[in-house]
Amino acid sequence: MSTTTGQAVAAGRVSVPRPSAAERLSRWASKLTLPVILLLPAMTIIVGLVGYPLVKTIWLSFTDTRLGDLINGTSTWVGLENYKEVFTDDQLRTSLINTVVFGTACVVGTMALGMAVALLLNQRLRFNWFFSLAVLLPWAVPALAASSIFKWLFDDRYGFVNWALVKLGFDHFQDYAWFADRNSAYVAMFVVVVWQSFPFIALSLLAGLQTVPKDTLDAASVDGANAFQRFWLVTLPLLRPIIAVLVIFSTIWDFKIFDQVYVLAPGVPDRAADTAAVTSYREAFALGHFGTGAAIAVVLFCVLLAFSIAYVRLIGKEGRT
Amino acid sequence: MRWMLRRGWMYVCALAISAFALFPIYYVVITSLKPRSEIYTRTPDLWPNHPQWHQYTRVLGEGHVGRALANSLIIAGATTIICVVVAGMAAYALARLEVPLRRTLLMLILTTQMFPLVVLIIPLFVLMRNANLIGTYQGLVIAYLAFTVPLAIWIMRGFIVTIPEELEHAAMIDGATRVGAMFRVILPIAGPGLVATATLSFIAAWNEFMLALTFMNEEQKKTLPLVLQQFVGRGDVDWGAVMATSVIYTLPVVVFFLLLRRRLMLGMTAGAVKG
Amino acid sequence: MRTPKVLLAVLCAAGLMLAACGSDDKSSNDKASASSTPAKLSGSIDVWIMDPGSPKIQSVVKGYATSFQAKHPGTTVNIEFVPWAQAHDKFTTSIAGGKTPDVAEMGTTWTPEFADEGAFEQVSKPPAGQYVSSLVDAATLDGKVWGKPWYAGSRALIYREDILKKAGVEVPKTWDELIAASKAIKAKVPGIYPIGYTGLTEHMYLPTIWQAGGQIAKQDGDSWTSELNTPQAAKAIQFYTDFYKEGLTPKAAIGWEEPDAQTAFINGDIAMLIAGGWGYNAIIQTKPGMKSKIGTTLEPAGPSGKDTAFAGGSHLVVFNGSKNKDLANAFVDYMLEPANLNQFTSEIGFLPGTVAGIKASGYLDDPIRKPFAEQLLDHSAVYPPSPRWGALEGANIFDGEIQKVMRGKQTPQQAAQNLAEKMDQEFAG
């Protein structure tokens, strides 16, 4: 259907005969061809590679499966037993709470810092090249290496952080064991996660800031809006789609965190600092309770799903859906 | 002088953030140059007193870091290219075309991201084993695509959606086809978004550890994260080697950034749309 | 709108079908590879060895492969190194996924766990006196043996002679002497903590239960029950955790793993350390200057008079999924030949798993190394070789309780009780 025909019809000048069923079908099919071609590779990969493992994991969560069961296919169906355990066992429940609280904190921290950096970068300050390179670098460092580095920086006897804090007058931090206590371990992990995550957020927000038409901002300026008002009333609403996407993904990532917690949290007594991903892994691989491990993962999944749906509704129409 | 006051605080912020971002990296570099006695000291030095470069030669030689570097480059590079192409197409379709159940598909794509990867290792392993892809580059690339493509689709779609449709309509009225408009209009403007997504995919594949550990057994094919772990041995951690390897590990990405920084930073939307 | 939903269903089904029916990787080839004549070996095998971390040791192992291949032309032995920290999980994945190596180095505490899943080929029971008996016990499940002891090590007490001298104490031989020595060091030698007892190293705290005269678990036919709910176990936990509570160990030690304690010893932060011969090797290699300052002795004896320590090590196992078991077994036996065995163990600072090997290693004649050999031969035991032990270890069930006592959040008696409960839960499956 070319636009000219459409316009002509709309103008009422030409009347188009009602298409037959066959014609409708073929038109519908040809209208679909392009989308299908464009979508097929991606969907094949996603459904094929992720679909099967996901389905299997969800199924596993309703069973009691040990390593032997995995090999021989002899899992026992236990219904909601695993889920009951997830919510009643202290350690498992704590890990879920940890995940939500810590994850949220990381998202807030990352978005705030990312936005600040994006705004600064958009200002094209002098030495912008230096600043932009500096904020990109943490992203280049692999999570495991970053965790090791920060573990070293926060070391109780030889770490830089304690030395600097003591020098600044906080004697409390002499030989302070950051990773022996849950809350201080989380402070350290927060720093690591935000340090690693903010570059990407900043970069994406910057790209978004650059699609904000200068004319609109100029117009607002002429109308008497100051910098803050311009940001709040013009820029932010225009950035909504990108911010929405970034918040959702940040949340998903930060709730799923594995590497950093795996490296930095084991020292905390009684595994009190483990998050859901680490606990799930431990239940499955260390303890051999594949069913329970799967259940934890599914609960995490439900939490994230609920959040995503709720958030998308809250944001309203994101872009041109 | 007013300039100083207005912009001054921005410079201070920028400086503080730069220090936050760069300090750990700086620390890694100097630690890689320090002998053990200088590393384990109660008053950390911010400058290596006797810089030793032997860690680098050692790591590249005995540690086979060079080979691992090549492996990582191949795998991450392949993943990035395929991911951007595949996800780009899908993102365009989901942003512009009338796809049945678009919302459902988008949600479906999003949900695949909501499981921690480690939980999916065993089923993925079984899948790969059935396809005889364990221990191959292709197997790992495909596995990486599974978690980079969904993310890439969402992010690119987010960018495409903010580009006004009038631009493509203008191009199509000028005679371009739908696909042509996609290339001539969307691609240049979504440039920064595309590069950001490519970078994300590259880094995700570059840094990935768990799957590489599970799928790659041969020494020849090991990627850098695996090789890095070998220095975190049974007893004392070989910090010098760990830091040197980390530096080598980070270099290609830094180069990547240096080359693409302009593309990333300078948008190309200046004046593209009037009202 | 029926049709689009159908399209979606078709898409999904297609995707799932694609995923579900991959090419079946059943072993179609190599049914005939099992040769009957012992001399004619062929084919290739994959061997997983724990990454020793040092390229020097890696080359020793790779040397086995090359010399074996030279002896048996037409064979290929692929050595692949696996990092210790992730090895257990890698084994789990490969066994669950049905693609295992042919031969592997298996931590002794994991052998029963995986043997229970039918992962290994059975080994004929070795004659008594060939191997260190506790190591064979560790590879035994249901009366059958599933692996051959490769190397072993037992932890003993390493101490700073100079610090003990400064504090004016003798080398401690009993629990009471250890406590006294620690307190003396704390009082008289500032800047160094007396001992590095950590919260995460079961090889440091579990043996104290033996030393107190208790047991960890008892086997009853096929099932195991925990023996930790006893006064001896509580006493042991109390002894161990008191060091932390009284400031005789660094504050961070509650979260340390064994390597952290070793590092602390090398850096001169602690004066006494429970470690094995490999730890000793690592210490003097990293800081040769320490060699003249440190001494070694058996672990201190508890109130029961016992000074038992944990005998750890690795077995060599052949997997049931191997397509070339003859070659696999031949290579294992090759690695266990005394000359080869000793070459490896002397490099890494462990002892051979064979009694003859230990006697030939020269450890018993070396005064500094003698305690490690003695400890292994006469004063060591293994953890209960239950298939669930690997899970107990891996999930750090013990650590949590010990840490809670260290923090003062529960009493040693409560800890003993909780541990017994958790262990029984786990044993029951």
- Of residues B184 and C138, which shows the higher confidence score? C138
- Residues of chain A neighbouring B116 (CB-CB closer than 8 A): 256, 258, 276-277, 280-281, 297, 300
B212-265 pLDDT, tens per residue?
888 888 888 888 888 887 776 555 677 778 888 888 888 888 887 777 766 655
Residue A8 has pLDDT above 60, yes or no: no
Looking at the domain assignment, is residue A13 inside a domain? Answer: no
Looking at the domain assignment, is residue C35 inside a domain? Answer: no
In chain B, what are the domains? Answer: 1-52 (no CATH), 67-265 (1.10.3720.10)
Mean pLDDT (whole number) for C170-198: 92
Q: How many structural domains compose chain A?
A: 1
Quote the domain boundaries for residue A271. Answer: 102-275
Looking at the domain assignment, is residue C21 inside a domain? Answer: no
> Domain containing A132 — which CATH number?
1.10.3720.10
**What six digits make up the tokens of A130?**
């230096």
Q: Is A201 on the interface with B (CB under 8 A)?
A: no
- Of residues C136 and A227, which shows the higher confidence score? C136
Looking at the domain assignment, is residue A78 inside a domain? Answer: no
Q: Percentage of chain B surpassing pLDDT 70?
A: 90
Looking at the domain assignment, is residue C7 inside a domain? Answer: no
Looking at the domain assignment, is residue C28 inside a domain? Answer: no
Report the pLDDT value the prediction gives residue A269, as an integer from 0 to 100. Answer: 75
Report the pLDDT value the prediction gives residue B272, as an integer from 0 to 100. Answer: 28
Report the pLDDT value the prediction gives residue A309, as an integer from 0 to 100. Answer: 84
**What six digits make up the tokens of C42?**
């062929």
> Are residues C114 and C229 part of one domain?
no
Rounded CA-CA distance A89/C422 in Å is 12
> Are residues C204 and C294 part of one domain?
yes
A26-64 pLDDT, tens per residue?
776 666 777 788 888 888 888 888 888 888 888 888 988
Mean pLDDT (whole number) for A308-315: 80
> Are residues C394 and C250 part of one domain?
yes
- From the list C357, C32, C396, C204, the residue with the least C-alpha distance to A269 is C396
Rounded CA-CA distance B264/B193 in Å is 8
Angle CA B175–B181–B187, to nearest 5:
150
Rounded CA-CA distance B89/B260 in Å is 22
Report the pLDDT value the prediction gives residue C188, as an integer from 0 to 100. Answer: 92
pLDDT class for B4, splitting at 50, 70, 90? low
- Residues of chain B neighbouring A37 (CB-CB closer than 8 A): 89
Kindly determine whether residue C279 and residue B235, on different chains, have CB atoms separated by under 8 Å: yes
Residue C210 has pLDDT above 50, yes or no: yes
Alpha-carbon distance values, C107 to A124, B8, B48, B268, C331 (Å): 58, 61, 40, 59, 18
- For residue C353, the 8-state DSSP code is S
Report the pLDDT value the prediction gives residue C318, as an integer from 0 to 100. Answer: 94
**What six digits make up the tokens of C383?**
């953890």
Alpha-carbon distance values, A42 to A35, B99, B134, C409 (Å): 11, 14, 22, 53
A73-105 pLDDT, tens per residue?
788 888 888 899 888 888 888 889 999 999 999
Residue C284 has pLDDT above 50, yes or no: yes
Find how far residue B37's CA is from the centre of its chain. Answer: 35
- The Cβ of residue C422 has, within 10 Å, a number of other Cβ atoms equal to 18
**HSE (CB half, 13 Å, CA atoms) of A28?**
12
Report the pLDDT value the prediction gives residue C24, as an integer from 0 to 100. Answer: 34
Mean pLDDT (whole number) for C112-116: 90
Q: Å from A130 to nearest chain C CA?
A: 38
pLDDT class for A14, splitting at 50, 70, 90? low
> Are residues C294 and C195 part of one domain?
yes
> Are residues C192 and C168 part of one domain?
yes
Q: Is A52 on the interface with C (CB under 8 A)?
A: yes
Residue B275 has pLDDT above 50, yes or no: no
At a CB cut-off of 8 Å and minimum separation 6, what does C340 contact?
C64, C334
- Residues of chain B neighbouring A210 (CB-CB closer than 8 A): 192, 266-267, 269
Q: Is the ipTM of this complex over 0.85?
A: no
Kindly determine whether residue B31 and residue A281, on different chains, have CB atoms separated by under 8 Å: no
Work out whether strand C43-50 and strand C103-107 pair parallel, antiparallel, or are unpaired: parallel
Looking at the domain assignment, is residue A52 inside a domain? Answer: no
Rounded CA-CA distance C16/C13 in Å is 5
pLDDT class for A5, splitting at 50, 70, 90? low
Q: Is C16 on the interface with A (CB under 8 A)?
A: yes
> Are residues C325 and C221 part of one domain?
no
Kindly determine whether residue C15 and residue A48, on different chains, have CB atoms separated by under 8 Å: yes
State the pTM of this model: 0.81
Report the pLDDT value the prediction gives residue A227, as an integer from 0 to 100. Answer: 75
Report the pLDDT value the prediction gives residue C21, as an integer from 0 to 100. Answer: 36
- Residues of chain C neighbouring A177 (CB-CB closer than 8 A): 250-252, 254-255
Q: Is B230 on the interface with C (CB under 8 A)?
A: yes
Report the pLDDT value the prediction gives residue A13, as an integer from 0 to 100. Answer: 56
Residue A320 has pLDDT above 50, yes or no: no
pLDDT class for B268, splitting at 50, 70, 90? very low
Smallest Cβ–Cβ distance between C391 and the set A68, A175, A287 belongs to A287
Smallest Cβ–Cβ distance between A269 and the set C11, C117, C403 belongs to C403
> Domain containing C334 — which CATH number?
3.40.190.10
Report the pLDDT value the prediction gives residue C207, as an integer from 0 to 100. Answer: 92
CB-CB contact of A133 with B262 (8 Å): no
Alpha-carbon distance values, B180 to B91, B158, B272 (Å): 16, 21, 18
Looking at the domain assignment, is residue A131 inside a domain? Answer: yes
Kindly determine whether residue C282 and residue B230, on different chains, have CB atoms separated by under 8 Å: no
Looking at the domain assignment, is residue A143 inside a domain? Answer: yes
**What six digits make up the tokens of A43?**
């969907």
B133-171 pLDDT, tens per residue?
888 899 999 999 988 998 888 878 877 877 777 877 887
Mean pLDDT of chain C: 84
A246-273 pLDDT, tens per residue?
898 889 889 988 888 888 887 777 778 8
Looking at the domain assignment, is residue C34 inside a domain? Answer: no
Backbone angles phi, psi at C270, to 5 degrees: -130, 155
Rounded CA-CA distance A213/A235 in Å is 9
Looking at the domain assignment, is residue A90 inside a domain? Answer: no
Residue C10 has pLDDT above 70, yes or no: no
> Are residues C166 and C141 part of one domain?
no
Looking at the domain assignment, is residue A127 inside a domain? Answer: yes
Report the pLDDT value the prediction gives residue C282, as an integer from 0 to 100. Answer: 84
Kindly determine whether residue C267 and residue A157, on different chains, have CB atoms separated by under 8 Å: yes
A152-168 pLDDT, tens per residue?
888 888 888 988 898 88
Kindly determine whether residue B207 and residue A195, on different chains, have CB atoms separated by under 8 Å: no
Residue C373 has pLDDT above 80, yes or no: yes
Backbone angles phi, psi at B4, to 5 degrees: -60, -45
Q: Å from C347 to nearest chain B CA?
A: 14
> Are residues C286 and C317 part of one domain?
no
pLDDT class for C30, splitting at 50, 70, 90? very low
**What six digits make up the tokens of C101?**
């190596």
Per DSSP, the residues of C274-330 read EE-HHHHHHHHHH-GGGGGGEEEEPPPB-TTS---EEEEEEEEEEBTT-S-HHHHHH
Looking at the domain assignment, is residue A193 inside a domain? Answer: yes
Rounded CA-CA distance C145/C143 in Å is 7
Angle CA A312–A314–A319, to nearest 5:
55
> Are residues C264 and C253 part of one domain?
yes
Looking at the domain assignment, is residue C213 inside a domain? Answer: yes
Mean pLDDT of chain B: 80
Give the least confident one: B13-17, B68-72, B83-87, C360-364: C360-364
Kindly determine whether residue A258 and residue B116, on different chains, have CB atoms separated by under 8 Å: yes
Report the pLDDT value the prediction gives residue B140, as an integer from 0 to 100. Answer: 92
Give the least confident one: A159-163, B173-177, C231-235, C292-296: B173-177
pLDDT class for C31, splitting at 50, 70, 90? very low
Kindly determine whether residue C48 and residue B217, on different chains, have CB atoms separated by under 8 Å: yes
Handedness of CA C422, C425, C428, C429 (dihedral sign): negative
Looking at the domain assignment, is residue C401 inside a domain? Answer: yes
Q: Percentage of chain C surpassing pLDDT 70?
A: 90
> Are residues C268 and C417 part of one domain?
yes
A217-236 pLDDT, tens per residue?
888 888 877 777 778 888 88
- From the list B126, B123, B117, the residue with the least C-alpha distance to B151 is B117
B70-100 pLDDT, tens per residue?
999 999 999 999 999 999 888 888 887 777 7
Sort residue B100 into left (φ over 0), alpha (ψ -120 to 50) or beta: beta
The owner of tokens 């298996």 is C106
Cα-atom radius of gyration of chain B, to the nearest Å? Answer: 23
> Are residues C388 and C250 part of one domain?
yes
Give the least confident one: A210-224, C19-33, C208-222: C19-33
**What six digits make up the tokens of C419?**
């541990």
Report the pLDDT value the prediction gives residue A10, as an integer from 0 to 100. Answer: 55
Give the least confident one: A1-15, A23-37, A135-149, C5-19: C5-19
Q: How many structural domains compose chain C?
A: 2
Mean pLDDT (whole number) for C188-205: 90
**Chain B residue with minimal CA distance to A191?**
B20
> Are residues C172 and C80 part of one domain?
no
Mean pLDDT of chain A: 82
Report the pLDDT value the prediction gives residue C197, as an integer from 0 to 100. Answer: 92
Quote the domain boundaries for residue C330. Answer: 43-154+311-381
Please give, one letter per residue, the 3-state secondary structure of chain B. CHHHHHHHHHHHHHHHHHHHHHHHHHHHHHHHCCCHHHHCCCCCCCCCCCCCCHHHHHHHHCCCHHHHHHHHHHHHHHHHHHHHHHHHHHHHHHHHCCCCCHHHHHHHHHHHHHCCHHHHHHHHHHHHHHCCCCCCHHHHHHHHHHHHHHHHHHHHHHHHHCCCHHHHHHHHHCCCCHHHHHHHHHHHHCHHHHHHHHHHHHHHHHHCCHHHHHHCCCHHHCCHHHHHHCCCCCCCCCHHHHHHHHHHHHHHHHHHHHHHHHHHHCCCCCCCCCC
Report the pLDDT value the prediction gives residue C1, as an integer from 0 to 100. Answer: 38
Q: Å from B208 to nearest chain C CA?
A: 15
CB-CB contact of C308 with C383 (8 Å): no
